[in-house]
């Protein structure tokens, strides 16, 4: 069985403009494989093809790409899920391309850095061993801490495309909420102050692209809604 691919190619050192290159891959009839495995096989045909990968099991978030128009992790997306036609693979949209499927994620990480993704606790009398949480307090972090920062969500968000320097983006905001509701964190007000402008949070219009592409099944839109509620409650 022959599988056809069309893959985005661009090497800024050599190419004047990006182009789509066709590839074909022979696989056994009925055999399925992940997109990453197919890319690795294609790289054996053409060693100049570039993409990121690491854990190859959906944990590291390195191989986020756009497959047939939808962002996802190549390592956990089976070819069978992409239909029978030609498979189009492009880099994550909105970010500058370093080469082929490799994007420059500086803007994404800058926004992540802005939300101070670490516990802040200015308690004058810290516990001798650790900050304990009740099971209920811990449960609030479920659906938030699992984010692996693959950038599939932020790069599927038009608000992030248009204002990547001001809108924190779904991934950053999911993490922001994770620290806002952490019972051990004491910087809630300072964190909300940092988010209280017209862009950082409120540029989200709730179109839920982030939810539809998240490879971990998380719901950034819900977290953003919770942050908006916290900002609203603080203002009234």
Partner 1 sequence: MVTEQASLKRNGVQDFVTLRATALIITLFSFYMAYFFIATPVITYDVWVSLFSGIFMKVFTFITLVAIMYHVKIGLWQVLTDYVKAPGLRATIQYVLNIIAFVYVVVGLFVLWGVK
Q: Give the interface with partner 1 as residue ranges (CB under 8 A).
A: 158-159, 162-163, 165-166, 196-203, 228, 231-232, 235
Nearer to partner 1, 14 or 198 (CB): 198
* Least gap, CB of 137 to partner 1 (angstroms): 27
The residue to which tokens 């809630």 are assigned? 188
Closest CB 109 distance from partner 1, rounded Å:
18
Largest CA distance in the chain: 67
- DSSP labels for 9-48? E--TTT-SS-EEEEEEEE--TT---BHHHHHHHHHHH-TT
Q: In degrees rounded to 5, what are phi and psi of residue 90?
A: -130, 165
59 versus 231: smaller Cβ distance to partner 1:
231
> From the CB of 169, what's the least distance to partner 1, in Å?
14
Task: Specify the residue, 145 or 162, whose C-beta has the smaller distance to partner 1.
Answer: 162
Distance of alpha carbon 184 from alpha carbon 179, whole angstroms? 9
66/89 Cα distance (integer angstroms): 6
Least distance from C-beta 165 to partner 1, angstroms?
Answer: 6
**d(Cα 42, Cα 12) in Å, to the nearest integer?**
21
Instruction: Name the residue nearer to partner 1 (CB basis): 25 or 227.
Output: 227
Residue indicated by tokens 């692209």: 209
Q: How near is the Cβ of 66 to partner 1 at its closest, in Å? A: 21
User: CB 192: neighbour CB atoms within 10 A?
Assistant: 18
CB nearer partner 1, residue 93 or residue 158: 158
CB 58 within 8 A of CB 73: yes
Least distance in angstroms from the C-beta of 96 to partner 1: 14
* Of residues 109 and 199, the one with the C-beta less far from partner 1: 199
């Amino acid at each position: 069985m022959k599988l056809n691919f069309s893959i985005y190619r661009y090497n800024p050192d050599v190419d004047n403009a990006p182009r789509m290159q066709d590839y074909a891959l022979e696989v056994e009839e009925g055999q399925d494989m992940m997109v990453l495995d197919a890319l690795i096989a294609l790289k054996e045909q053409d060693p100049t093809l570039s993409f990121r990968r690491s854990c190859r099991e959906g944990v590291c978030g390195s191989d986020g790409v756009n497959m047939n128009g939808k962002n996802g992790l190549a390592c956990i997306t089976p070819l069978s899920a992409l239909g029978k036609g030609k498979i189009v693979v492009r880099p994550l949209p909105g970010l500058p391309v370093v080469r082929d499927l490799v994007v420059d994620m500086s803007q994404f990480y800058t926004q992540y850095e802005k939300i101070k993704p670490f516990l802040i606790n200015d308690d004058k009398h810290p516990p001798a061993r650790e900050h304990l949480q009740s099971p209920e307090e811990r449960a609030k972090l479920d659906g938030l801490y699992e984010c692996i920062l693959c950038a599939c969500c932020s790069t599927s968000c038009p608000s992030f495309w248009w204002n990547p320097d001001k809108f924190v983006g779904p991934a950053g905001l999911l993490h922001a909420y994770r620290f806002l509701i952490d019972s051990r964190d004491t910087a809630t007000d300072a964190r909300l102050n940092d988010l209280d402008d017209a862009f950082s949070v409120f540029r989200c219009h709730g179109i839920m692209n982030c939810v539809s592409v998240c490879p971990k099944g998380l719901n950034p839109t819900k977290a953003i809604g919770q942050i908006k509620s916290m900002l609203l409650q603080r203002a009234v």
